[in-house]
Amino acid sequence: MNIHAMRAIYKFEMARTRRTLMQSIISPVISTSLYFVVFGAAIGSRIAQVEGITYGAFIVPGLIMLSLLTQSIANASFGIYFPKFTGTIYELLLAPVSYLEIVVSYVGAAATKSIILGLIILATATLFVPLRIAHPLWMILFLALTAVTFSLVGFIIGIWADGFEKLQLVPLLIVTPLTFLGGSFYSIDMLPPFWQTVTLFNPVVYLISGFRWSFYGIADVSVAVSLAMTLVFMAISLALVAWIFKTGYRLKT
């Protein structure tokens, strides 16, 4: 394995975060802080507790997951799309670097940035609400698995997109609505029975539920099911990435 090439790509992508600090870190943290202020003050004053947890604390895992999903996709998709846009992707494909090393480098950098952002938001949340993490190791596991999975999704989007506007298409029209409807701000037990069943078809529900369980020990679905579904999403994403490199989809033209 070409460790030097992987390190070079990884360091280049991480350096891009420092050059775009406002967009990559500061802006998501400010946006999430506004959610705490608005939802915590406006809705939290009307909803005392959800399953024994104060509303402000209850929404913390959902808000972290919202930022984690969108930023993982954005970091990975732009990271691989920009070399396509400039044409340097062909130099990378001709270099003595395997497809696996390319994926690990770009996805690893995107996931690292998302995990750092998630931890910063978690630290910021302690300024607004009292928090406890019942299962810290599980919290880190769900954080890492989700960041890697959606960085893979972002990598796929970056390969698929043929314009900058398409980089925002999936996050804005699919991922963000699914996150809002996936229990970020409420427990699905609060929904009527029919909509509870419908909500279970939303894959983001399992990510948020498992992540919230790691904080408070409460979940809308079994933590084992949440973990299994996360691994299934990762496996599907890996299969799509493998297919892209095998067929040369959007890379050989």
* Distance between CA atoms of residues 216 and 237, nearest Å: 29
In a domain, 19, yes or no: yes
Q: Is 49 helix (H, G, I), strand (E, B) or coil?
A: strand
What's the first-to-final CA gap in the chain, in angstroms?
Answer: 27
88-97: buried (b, 16+ CB within 10 Å) or exposed (e) per residue? ebeebeeeeb
pLDDT at 23: 74
In a domain, 146, yes or no: yes
In a domain, 143, yes or no: yes
In a domain, 121, yes or no: yes
In a domain, 253, yes or no: no
Q: What is the pLDDT along the chain (253 residues), one digit of tens a residue?
A: 788 889 999 999 898 877 777 777 888 888 888 887 777 666 766 776 788 888 888 999 999 999 999 999 999 999 999 888 888 888 888 888 888 999 999 999 999 999 999 999 999 988 888 888 999 999 999 999 999 999 999 999 999 988 888 888 888 888 889 998 898 888 898 889 998 999 999 999 999 999 999 999 999 999 999 999 999 999 999 999 999 988 888 876 5
Structural domain boundaries, residue 138: 3-247
pLDDT at 204: 94
* Distance between CA atoms of residues 237 and 250, nearest Å: 17
- Sequence-distant (≥ 6) Cβ neighbours of residue 65 within 8 angstroms: 146, 179, 184, 204, 207, 208, 211
Instruction: Look at residues 202, 220, 212 and name the one whose alpha carbon lies nearest to residue 142.
Output: 212
* Distance between CA atoms of residues 123 and 115, nearest Å: 12
The number of folded domains in the chain is: 1
In a domain, 10, yes or no: yes
In a domain, 179, yes or no: yes
In a domain, 252, yes or no: no
